[in-house]
Amino acid sequence: MSADISQDIWDRARRYQSVLVGHGASITDADVLQPADTLLDLYGEDIRARTFTTQDPLRGEQMLRPDFTVPIVQQHMEFGAEPARYTYLGKVFRKQEAHETRPTEFVQVGFEVFDGKDVAAADAEVFATFADILADVPVAPMTGDIGILRAAVIGLKTSERRRAALMRHLWRPRRFRALLDRFGSVTPIPAARAALLSNANAMANLPVVLGLRSESEIALRIEALQDDAAIGPISSFERDLLASLLKVRETAPNALALLRDIAVDLPSISAAIDGLNMRLDAMAKRGIDVDALPFEAAYGRTSMEYYDGFVFGFSSNASLNIPPVATGGRYDALTVILGGGTGVPAVGGVIRPDLVALVEAAQ
């Protein structure tokens, strides 16, 4: 990258950060090298395809920070007090195995709000702040709410175990679909599984147990499989409801009306829909044109693993073929994991000055 383009990107980044400081955010920072364990435990092995790994002789495996959110949350959980607003600015590092032309390091400016007093207002504050920074840039917003999807899964009339399995794969649409088909008895039971289930004495002829997974763990799973075989399928009615929920893609007021219709038969999502309603009110108060705001129920489902509520992004015209210039959302559950059991309501977002510059140059 040429020196003046680089200079322009850092200048933009500092401008954005000064806006965030104006909104009451205090400046914070994070180490470039992060312990790999934490990130691997959070994201699983897949993160190795996206993150640079290096080795420290004393500290073990380290990763070049793929984002700031995890270390900022850790700092806050250890030292911070609510309410708190943070901003940070710096490079993040991503392997681009499938996109050779995309940069492997780029500048991010972030805004994170730890404030549980009024969740809807905090969501609206973060969204409106990025909307304000991007006011003169030709990008379009998109919003979603993973919380509604979660509430729908929680409300399914089935076993706790099946709900947990679906929840675990909420972010992997293909796997989610396969599980739903199995729990809905759409997929037939494989012959080997049927044979195991019909064998009342399966554990009696167990081959020699090898490795750390013990005989009792195997017995427990077989018991669980037998319990599971005894309960009825998730009804096609409920599966259709989930499918129509995932298809909702409308302006916010229309989406709200559609979701309310679905909630008649799936009452577990009512509270989350009320939350969406309150968020839209809070956004309107901040001057966002909510009547024109797009909402997509499945938005953020494949790429934003740690978000569990409100999600948003600002994207340029598809012809540019670049990622959204700004993204964000609510990640209460992440704070619980990183806080060792106690969490705080948290919402935030990041903006990429390099992509904003690209969008403006293409104008």
Residues that bind other proteins (CB under 8 A): 40-41, 44-46, 48-49, 97-98, 100, 165, 168-169, 172, 174-176, 178, 182, 190, 192-193, 196, 202, 206-213, 215, 217-218, 220-222, 225
306/308 Cα distance (integer angstroms): 6
| Minimum gap (Å) between residue 220 Cβ and other proteins | 8
Length of the chain: 363
Question: Closest separation between CB of residue 176 and other proteins, Å?
Answer: 8
CB of 94 to other proteins, least distance (A): 14
Neighbours of 131 (CB within 10 A): 21
Nearer to other proteins, 205 or 319 (CB): 205
- The helix/strand/coil state of 142 is strand
Structural element, H or E, at residue 112: strand 105-114
CB of 57: closest distance to other proteins in angstroms?
Answer: 18
The distance of closest approach from Cβ of residue 28 to other proteins in the complex, given in angstroms and rounded to an integer, is 30
CB 284 within 8 A of CB 292: no
- Structure token digits, residue 295: 């909402």
CB 270 within 8 A of CB 276: no
Least distance from other proteins to the Cβ atom of residue 160, Å: 14
DSSP annotation string for 216-278: HHHHHHHHHHHHHHHSPPPPHHHHHHHHHHHH-EEEHHHHHHHHHHHHHH-GGGHHHHHHHHH
Residue 90 or residue 184: which is nearer to other proteins going by CB?
184
| Gyration radius of the chain's alpha carbons | 23
Q: Determine contact, residues 184/256, Cβ cutoff 8 Å.
A: no
Measured from the CB atom, is 169 or 286 closer to other proteins? Answer: 169
Task: With CA atoms as reference, report the closest residue to 345 among 329, 323, 359, 361.
Answer: 329
State the minimum distance, in angstroms, from the CB of residue 327 to other proteins: 21
Closer by beta carbon to other proteins, 224 or else 257 = 224
Of 169 and 249, the one with the shorter C-beta distance to other proteins is 169
User: Residue 15 or residue 221: which is nearer to other proteins going by CB?
Assistant: 221
Handedness of CA 287, 288, 291, 297 (dihedral sign): negative
Residue 50 or residue 260: which is nearer to other proteins going by CB?
Answer: 50
